[in-house]
Amino acid sequence: MFGKLFAESGLSLDRLKALLEVGAGGSIVKAADGDPVRQSQYSRQIKELEDFFRIKLIERQGKGTRLTPSGRELARISRFFMLGLSNFQRGCLSEEQRFRIGASATFIRQFLLPVLSPSPKGGPMYATEIVSDEEAERRLHDLTLDFGVVGSAAISRPLQTKVLGRWKLELWAPKALSFTETSASKAFKEKRLPLVLARKELERLGVLSPKDYEVHLVCDNFLQARAALEGQAAGAFLPSFLAPGKIAKSFVRVRLPKVDSRTLHFYLAWNPRLLRLNPHATRRRDWLAESLSERMAGCTVG
């Protein structure tokens, strides 16, 4: 059945590993971290794979290189194969399982870390990474992430999702700027309300982020926007679960029908191929979905 694979030399785990590292790095130079000896080694190993399969696996891109479509496909097959071997080895050695979870900085801080922190001794290990929805989707396909948290269930096959909870986006303004709800709403419509915008998160959600608005500060995520709001120099769009809370008396909620009417969601996403390669992942998926749903259940949705 596999006679042709072993009829000649050139195929080895080391060479497939080199292909994976070049694919992950984006080029031979980046994968080798500038080391000329490692660059030469990567080039030689990939050339040996090309000779074996009789097809180009890397190609020129500007001053560097990248994997060809065939190279990307071989890397995908190799990653599945090696992940299966790695999981088998860990089971044989009774080693702890390690799961990689990608999400936004806000979700990690507000929901993931509180759920993962009390993990019992001897249980699985977790690693969290800040990723965009697009990166999470791509890496779930590549199996370089085990689980991802995204804002939409409309992701490409064969990825699957489960809803974790819902929330609202709210605009808050500081009373220190002499705003009432009515005057703050008018100032927003007239583009006079200074704002702190978590632009990346707002754009990810598809929420209008007016470029001609009076932006006081642009930041990366809602956690930073919340911290800036507390300076009481500008208003901010915040998720309902990050509303001012105990210090709400210092702020006013600005009602915006187009924004207030939207209900947003978080979804846990995974690749079903992972579950076939690692049976332990099914229990981890179910535990994460239940724990994160419970954590989100107490959030105000407005």
Tell me the pLDDT tens digit for each residue of 233-247: 899 999 999 988 756
- % of the chain surpassing 90 pLDDT: 49
Residue 139 has pLDDT above 70, yes or no: yes
CA-nearest of 11, 13, 18 to 32 is 18
pLDDT in tens, 10-65: 889 999 999 998 988 888 888 888 888 999 999 999 999 999 999 999 998 877 78
Q: From start to end of the chain, where are the E strands?
A: 58-61, 64-67, 98-103, 125-130, 147-150, 160-167, 169-174, 195-198, 215-219, 235-239, 251-254, 264-270
Helix 36-53 vs helix 13-25: angle between axes, to the nearest 10 degrees? Answer: 120
Whether pLDDT at 299 is above 90: no
Q: What pLDDT is recorded for position 212?
A: 56
Q: What pLDDT does 32 receive?
A: 87
Q: How far apart are CA 153 and CA 150, in angstroms?
A: 8
CB 270 within 8 A of CB 159: yes
Residue 156 or residue 63, greater confidence:
156
Q: How much is the pLDDT for 302?
A: 47
Tell me which H or E stretch contains 249.
Answer: none
Peptide bond into 239 cis (omega under 30): no
Whether the CB-CB separation of 133 and 204 falls below 8 Å is answered with: yes
Window from 90-94, 179-183, 233-237 with minimum mean pLDDT: 90-94
Q: How far is residue 246's CA from residue 286's CA, in Å, rounded to a whole number?
A: 34
**What domains lie within the chain, and their CATH numbers?**
3-82 (1.10.10.10), 96-166+264-297 (3.40.190.10), 169-260 (3.40.190)
Q: What is the pLDDT of residue 4?
A: 81
pLDDT at 181 over 90: no
Q: What is the pLDDT of residue 209?
A: 56
Amino acid (one-letter) located at 153: A
Burial (0-12, 13-18, 19+ Cβ within 10 Å), 245: exposed
